Chains A and B, each alone.
Chain A
Amino acid sequence: MVGSEALRLEDVRKVYGAEGNRVTALDGVSLSLPAGSFTAVMGPSGSGKSTLLQCAAGLDRPTGGRVFVAGAELAAGGGEAALTKFRRKRIGFVFQQFNLLPALTVLQNVTLPLKLAGRKADKRRAAEILGRVGLGDRLGHLPAELSGGQQQRVAIARALVTEPEVLFGDEPTGALDTRSAREVLGLLQEAVRMYGRTVVMVTHDPVAASYADGVLFLADGRLVGSLTAPTAEAVAERMTHLADEVERQRALAGV
């Protein structure tokens, strides 16, 4: 797996709004992430991080450009059903608000993606993954009976059970206390280091970003920089000067 490409974006653009009132959320983003990498995407509010994640993950269709997940192109045509099938075969999600189904137990939530995809709902494997995230004794609980950190760990187990090519996290620690956040980030890191998964995480928290192998910085819908082996301090420092950096790049480009 290592060495092959998990995610590629080619000149991806996303424009919202009608004629005369257009907002460019993504302005030609190209990137390539190898399999088995852990990448954080950072940027100020309104920089387009969430749009980037939604376009890359097939939750939304870009206005222009192409998206490849493990070599398979996200088709421009096809309805919502086609997009769903593309997603559930290749992509896993972890959201800020957990988004577990409230009427299903922990175990049922984790086996749900398999059942929806018409695959064998292997309860033993689901239970084993839940054990790995420390919830082996909570299989029959409902999400409402768990803490936020526990719910997010269920969401991680649910995302991993389909063995996705890429696992996307949208502010996965945004609703958690520091300790739960650290546990969740540790689990994402473990998914990459021990099981070879690819993780892309949008965050605004420099500490969360420091768990990743690399950080991409986004501003005004463009990639404006990157950092490898980040520390929280370096990321925070870079974020503070992101505005200046954008100015300088614009001046260089003669815009």
Chain B
Amino acid sequence: MFALALRSLRKRAGGFAASFTALFLGAAIVMAFASMLDTSIRGNASGAAAETLTIMAAVVGSWGLVLVVLAVSSTLALSVRQRAEEMALLKSIGATPAQLGRMVVGEAAVLAVAAWALGIVPGLLGGRALLAMLHDTGQVPESIGYAFGPVAPAMGLGVTLVSAVAAAMLAVRRTARARVAESLADAAIGETRLGWKRTAGGIVFLLLGLDLAVITSTVLRNEGDAAMATAGQADICAALGLALLAPWLIRRIAGALAGPLRLLGVAGDLAVSTLRRRTGQMAAVVMPIILFSGIAAGTIYLQEIERDAIRAAGLLSTVEQKNIATLNFVVIGMILVFTAVMLVNTLLAATAHRRREFGQARLAGATPGQVLGAVALESVLLTVIGLVCGAFAAAFTVVPFGIARAGTALPDLGPLTMAGVAAVAAALTMATALGAARRAVRVPAVEAVAV
């Protein structure tokens, strides 16, 4: 099965590009930060400097693991699902679920090692830049020079390999267990319903976010740093909860907007039907938008409230506060990069998957422009749904932290941050969806519908 894994990687390099990108970015970022441990050990750092370096490496390392597992499991799950027919075929000629599992895990492991090897140089350069920044802000003394290895490459390989294998095992579980006839049928319909596990998970995450928000604004009201820790996690929990409930939200919102959208003509008509009946695929696109906008807006506003509170008190930021700020920005940066990869990958896959449907619409009389119009409207709706949910999730951080640090639930922050986050999310969604759809309608309609 390992030989088959290698062959399939070589023959279908394109299908693995997204997983590879996520692994490569993960490896480079984790190694850049892990090299702070090498720097600390080699430079005999002590006191605050040692603490700064260790915290950087540990926090970003563990966040990196979580994010890479999430991003890679989303990209791998898609590439496995798109190969559902191939999997069913392998099963029908006698491959056991364990053998299929080994094939997919083998592919992921090879990808991880390659991504790690390519990530070493960018990781090294990134670490050097990070240390230079810490020198500039005075968080680490100039006397401590840069060092890379042995911890950084070892940690990089560990994180990349573990997350790839874990993600592959998650992705393959469902496909491999289904029976042959079921997977063939699944490949034809490809629809998922919101199961009770997912609903329960969504509600639990939302309640957790609510809990953290309440704790921040009550118990931890006068504890600056502790409030920041709980507030910073509240929006992440809320965003995860909403992302899990996305299919339900989309169905509800599409139902509520059906009337006004129908007034927009045939594009509105098609968009409503797609949102209602292809909720699973649409939710896969909305999820990264919610995570992206919720976490980004929440964390940036959190940092702004903190900065204003320190200034208002007439204090200068301490090394520890600077560390927290740096870490916060690095972690959101990572989250943003990974959710952006997830968003683009999901959209590309979802749109390419609809080539046949676009062909059918054109045979029914739709011009390429009308197909693109419907796709554009869908993308706008998905972006708006994602951003509204994201803003709602960000409020789980902003409101309680505002109460705790600024004494008001609505701190005066200006809409600029949210507008920036929204613009990036909208640009990514629209450009990817329309680009992919344009490519899909360039094929003659009769060819596009040929199975």
- Measuring CB to CB, which residues of chain A are less than 8 angstroms from any residue of chain B? 54, 59-60, 80-81, 84-85, 87-88, 93, 95, 97, 99-104, 108-109, 112-113, 115-117, 142, 144, 158, 162
Minimum CB distance partner of B442 in chain A: A80
Minimum CB distance partner of B189 in chain A: A144
A99, B266: Cβ atoms closer than 8 Å: no
A115, B269: Cβ atoms closer than 8 Å: yes
Chain B residues positioned under 8 Å from A104 (CB to CB): 270, 273
Q: A172 CA to B368 CA in the complex, in Å? A: 25
Q: Report if A142-B451 is in contact (Cβ < 8 Å); known contacts: A100-B360, A112-B364.
A: no
Interface string of B266-279 (1 = CB under 8 A from A): 10011001101110
Q: A60 CA to B368 CA in the complex, in Å? A: 15
A102, B357: Cβ atoms closer than 8 Å: yes
B449, A97: Cβ atoms closer than 8 Å: yes
Chain A residues positioned under 8 Å from B133 (CB to CB): none
Q: A100 CA to B273 CA in the complex, in Å? A: 14
- The size bracket of the interface on B is 20 to 34
Q: Which of B360, B363, B365, B446 contacts A60, CB < 8 Å? A: B446
A142, B365: Cβ atoms closer than 8 Å: no
Q: Which of A93, A109, A116, A162 contacts B366, CB < 8 Å? A: A116
Q: A42 CA to B369 CA in the complex, in Å? A: 35
Q: A60 CA to B362 CA in the complex, in Å? A: 13
Q: Report if A54-B446 is in contact (Cβ < 8 Å); known contacts: A97-B451, A99-B360, A101-B360.
A: yes
Chain B residues positioned under 8 Å from A103 (CB to CB): 270, 273-274, 276-278, 357
- Nearest CB in chain A: distance from B272 CB, A: 10
- Nearest CB in chain B: distance from A84 CB, A: 4
- Nearest CB in chain B: distance from A109 CB, A: 8
- Nearest CB in chain B: distance from A78 CB, A: 11
Interface string of B437-451 (1 = CB under 8 A from A): 000010011100101
B446, A59: Cβ atoms closer than 8 Å: yes
Q: Report if A115-B265 is in contact (Cβ < 8 Å); known contacts: A85-B367, A103-B277.
A: yes
A108, B360: Cβ atoms closer than 8 Å: no
Chain A residues positioned under 8 Å from B357 (CB to CB): 101-103
Q: Report if A81-B269 is in contact (Cβ < 8 Å); known contacts: A60-B446, A93-B363, A100-B360.
A: no
B366, A99: Cβ atoms closer than 8 Å: no
- From 235 to 283 in chain B, residues with beta carbon under 8 angstroms from any chain A beta carbon are 265-266, 269-270, 273-274, 276-278
Q: A117 CA to B361 CA in the complex, in Å? A: 12
Q: A101 CA to B365 CA in the complex, in Å? A: 12
Q: A81 CA to B369 CA in the complex, in Å? A: 7
Chain B residues positioned under 8 Å from A142 (CB to CB): 277
B364, A113: Cβ atoms closer than 8 Å: yes
- Nearest CB in chain B: distance from A152 CB, A: 14
Q: A102 CA to B270 CA in the complex, in Å? A: 11
Q: A102 CA to B360 CA in the complex, in Å? A: 9
B444, A59: Cβ atoms closer than 8 Å: yes
Chain B residues positioned under 8 Å from A115 (CB to CB): 265-266, 269
Say yes or no for B326: interface residue by CB 8 A criterion.
no
- Nearest CB in chain B: distance from A53 CB, A: 10
A112, B362: Cβ atoms closer than 8 Å: no
- From 338 to 366 in chain B, residues with beta carbon under 8 angstroms from any chain A beta carbon are 357, 359-366
Q: A108 CA to B262 CA in the complex, in Å? A: 12
Q: Which of B270, B366, B446 contacts A84, CB < 8 Å? A: B366
B449, A95: Cβ atoms closer than 8 Å: yes
Say yes or no for B370: interface residue by CB 8 A criterion.
yes
- Nearest CB in chain A: distance from B433 CB, A: 16
Chain B residues positioned under 8 Å from A108 (CB to CB): 269, 273
Q: A62 CA to B444 CA in the complex, in Å? A: 14
A101, B449: Cβ atoms closer than 8 Å: no
Query: What would 28 A/B residue contacts be, using CB atoms closer than 8 Å?
Result: A59-B363, A59-B446, A80-B368, A81-B369, A84-B365, A84-B366, A84-B368, A95-B363, A97-B451, A99-B363, A99-B449, A100-B360, A101-B273, A101-B357, A102-B277, A103-B276, A103-B277, A103-B278, A103-B357, A108-B269, A108-B273, A112-B266, A112-B365, A113-B364, A115-B269, A116-B365, A117-B365, A158-B364
Chain A residues positioned under 8 Å from B266 (CB to CB): 112, 115-116
- From 111 to 169 in chain B, residues with beta carbon under 8 angstroms from any chain A beta carbon are none
Chain A residues positioned under 8 Å from B445 (CB to CB): 59
What are the 5 A-B residue pairs with the smallest beta carbon separation, nearest first? A88-B365, A103-B277, A115-B266, A81-B367, A116-B365
Q: A112 CA to B265 CA in the complex, in Å? A: 11
- From 187 to 233 in chain B, residues with beta carbon under 8 angstroms from any chain A beta carbon are 189
Chain B residues positioned under 8 Å from A101 (CB to CB): 273, 357, 360-361, 364
Chain A residues positioned under 8 Å from B446 (CB to CB): 54, 59-60
Known: A93-B363, A158-B364. 17 other contacts (CB 8 A): A54-B446, A59-B446, A81-B368, A85-B367, A87-B365, A99-B360, A100-B360, A101-B357, A101-B360, A102-B277, A103-B277, A104-B270, A108-B269, A112-B266, A112-B361, A117-B365, A142-B277
